[in-house]
Structure 1
Amino acid sequence: MKFIVALALLGLVSANTSLEQYGVGQTCQSDGGFTISSFNVYPYPPTDCSPQAVSMTGTFTQNACPSQININENYNQRQSYTQNINLSGCYVSGTSYTFNFNINAYQCNSGSYVIQVALNQQSPQTRLACWQYEYSI
């Protein structure tokens, strides 16, 4: 009996781990080139105007030289703010990498927010990956 309970607990822990693999949000439209395997935001959900620390991990599925992380904030279904983080460096297909960055809040009002994060390459112009998440303050 103890063995069955231990096995059930192990199954629940494993299931919970896989559910938390991506953290928050979901993919959005991109051209491909970087497959996101983990996307975490701290704190989530935000409760004030403090910066949000983001960790985005994935694998390059093609040779790429990402030039920018583009962050769009939609406040109450309207575009309100864009933040760009410049990048340098190139990666070969199959390389796993974690991008760590902060998102600075622009609107600090009560309402609903959708944050969209895109990993872009300038030449050729490509949206390698896109992820978005929502919250309310």
Structure 2
Amino acid sequence: MKFILALAILGLVSANVALEAYDVGQSCNSDGGFTVTSFTVNPYPPRGCSPQAVSMTGTFTQNACPSQIHINENFNQRQSYNQDINISGCYNSGATQTFNFNINAFQCNSGSYTVQVTLNEENSEQHLSCWQYQYTL
């Protein structure tokens, strides 16, 4: 009986670790140029005001020099916060790249959240990619 209980506890702990970070969300409207192949958030779902560690991996479908990752947080279907992360580098079409960054929570209230992340081209308003995910606190 103790063995079964120990296995059950081990299984629950393993399941909790596995749920800490995994692919979340879906693509949203963009001009194209970077195809997201993996988007992980840790922890997911977020807890309170803790920062969210994000890893966004994808492939460039055109030559591009992205200069910014733009984060837009909507709280209860109203825009509440924007965060910009400056990046540098130019990439050839076909190049695979991973962008790692933190999203700092602005709202820490109970409610519904939609976070939209865009990868923006240097010196233009072009959105190379757009990805969004949702959660509830």
Same fold? TM cut 0.5: yes
> Match of 1:119, SS?
strand
Mapped pair 1:95 → 2:95: yes
Structure-2 separation of matches of 1:124 and 1:68: 11
Name the residue aligned to 1:13. none
1:64-120 Cα deviation digits (max 9, x unpaired): 000100000000000000000001110000000000000000000000000000000
> Match of 1:90, SS?
coil
Structure-2 separation of matches of 1:129 and 1:121: 10
> Match of 1:68, SS?
strand
Instruction: Tell me the CA shift for residue 125 of structure 1.
Output: 2.9
Name the residue aligned to 2:29. 29
> Match of 2:23, SS?
coil
Percent identity reads 72
Q: TM-score, with normalisation over the residues of structure 2? A: 0.83
Q: Unaligned stretches of 5+ in structure 1?
A: 1-21
Amino acid paired to 2:110 = S
Mapped pair 1:108 → 2:118: no
Instruction: Tell me the CA shift for residue 48 of structure 1.
Output: 1.1
Name the residue aligned to 2:3. none
Mapped pair 1:75 → 2:72: no
Instruction: Tell me the CA shift for residue 47 of structure 1.
Output: 1.8
Name the residue aligned to 1:11. none
Name the residue aligned to 1:47. 47
Stretches of 4+ aligned residues off by more than 2 angstroms: 122-125
Amino acid paired to 1:78 = R
Amino acid paired to 1:34 = F
Q: TM-score, with normalisation over the residues of structure 1? A: 0.83
Instruction: Tell me the CA shift for residue 122 of structure 1.
Output: 2.9
> Match of 1:130, SS?
strand
